Amino acid sequence: MDLTRFIRDIPDFPKPGIVFKDITPLLAEPRAFHYAVERLAEHYVHHEIQVVASAEARGFLFAAPLALRLNKPLVPLRKPGKLPYKTHALRYDLEYGSAELQLHIDAIEPGARVLLLDDVLATGGTMEASCRLIAQAGGKTIGCAFLIELMFLGGREKLRPCEVFSLLQY
Ligand code: AMP
């Protein structure tokens, strides 16, 4: 199945010069959504993974069905003020300003092997921060998975030595 048929390019969103990869057509087509999750599962089913984790928000849409499919715990990485229990926190720099991600302190067992997932790999800044937060919590990121990779931005370099896997490359 050609998943690119279900990715819609939206030029100049959210700002001029950015071509936004809109995944909502894929979410709206159960056969395509199912196929995408199966392809991700196929890649990781023989990896030793203890946890599937993802930063909000669109990553959750793929992390949840993948965690169920792999029969692994799902751990959300969230923006400040969203998680109700005690948290680990990590601040990271964005192009303009900074952002923070949080994780419940009991979400990751010491040494747990974590698969991180997001919808799009752009510059890799968000995923790099997620990896650092997992490390801070005592886990080890063994893979970074994406539905879409924007190759021309070179995000995977930033994620070395972590294994990077993407279903679609642009
Ligand atoms: P990154 O630059 O890799 O840190 O990307 C930041 C976040 O923005 C990621 O979670 C992506 O889901 C999202 N994102 C970045 N660029 C795009 C794009 N062109 N289309 C859709 N989502 C994007």
The answer to whether the CB of 33 falls within 8 A of the CB of 26 is yes
Residues near 135 by beta carbon (within 8 Å), at least 6 away in sequence: 141
The catalytic site residues sit at 58, 95
Task: Match 């080890």 to its residue by tokens.
Answer: 140
125 lines ligand 1 (CB under 6 A): yes
Residue whose structure tokens are 């949080």: 102
Does the C-beta of 54 come closer than 6 Å to ligand 1? no
User: Can you give the pTM of this predicted structure?
Assistant: 0.97
pLDDT of the chain, 170 residues: tens digit per residue: 999 999 999 999 999 999 999 999 999 999 999 999 999 999 999 999 999 999 999 999 999 999 999 999 999 999 999 999 999 999 999 877 899 999 999 999 999 999 999 999 999 999 999 999 999 999 999 999 999 999 999 999 999 999 999 999 99
The pLDDT score that the predictor gives to residue 110 is 97
What is the C-alpha separation between 152 and 71, in angstroms, rounded?
Answer: 34
Please list the residues that pair with 118 across neighbouring strands. Answer: 146
Ligand 1 centre to CA of 115 (Å) is 18
Can you give the pLDDT at residue 74?
A: 98
Return the exposure string of 99-138: e unless at least 16 CB atoms fall within 10 Å of the residue's CB, then b. Answer: eebbbbeebbeeebbbbbbbbbbbebebbbbbbebbeebe
What CA–CA distances, in Å, run from 109 to 86, 121, 136, 141? 15, 26, 12, 12
Residues 66-97 pLDDT 10s? 999 999 999 999 999 999 999 999 999 987 78
Residue 118 DSSP label: E
CA distance 117 to 166: 10
Tell me the pLDDT tens digit for each residue of 113-127.
999 999 999 999 999
Mean pLDDT, the chain, integer: 97
Q: How far is the CA of 122 from the centre of ligand 1 (A)?
A: 5
In the chain, the domains with their CATH numbers are 47-169 (3.40.50.2020)
